[in-house]
Structure 1
Amino acid sequence: MKEYIEERAIEIANYIIEEKATVRQTAKKFGVSKSTVHIDVTKEAFL
């Protein structure tokens, strides 16, 4: 996986946990799609 994707996935996961944010809120905060958030925080992103 590209390093920037891994870093983004960690940032997204931390944001969701710390802010108790929804996928929709997280997508808006990071300027990515809801699908991207989902993929980044599941194991699919690390295959």
Structure 2
Amino acid sequence: MKDYIEERVLEVARYIIESEATIRKTAKVFGVSKSTIHKDMTERLPKINPQIAQEAKRVLDLNKSERHIRGGRATKLKYKSI
């Protein structure tokens, strides 16, 4: 794996852990696709640093379990403004 990819993976992981950001928000901040962020967190990070991978996975799992709530709020706000 190239050095710049490893650096990006670790930087993305730190960002997710510190800000508890979603994959979509993280992708927007780093200017890459959601697929890239997902691959970085699920495949590359565990090989580079398993401990950080566990922390990032905890945050991403929490976000995944809450996404239906955020979607409901967004829909409610959308129709409230109409």
TM, length-normalised to structure 1: 0.88
Distance in 1 separating the partners of 2:23 and 2:14:
12
Relative contact order, CA 8 A, sep 6+: which one is greater?
Answer: 1
CA deviations 1:7-41 (Å, max 9, x no partner) are 00000000000001000000000000000001111
Aligned residues: 45
Where in structure 2 are the equivalents of 1:28-47 lying within 5 Å? Answer: 28-42=28-42, 44-45=43-44, 46=47
SS at match of 1:18: helix
Moved over 6 A (4+): none
**Structure 1 portions without partners, runs of 5+:** none
TM, length-normalised to structure 2: 0.52
Structure whose CA Rg is larger: 2
RMSD value, Cα: 0.9
Fraction of identical pairs, as percent: 67
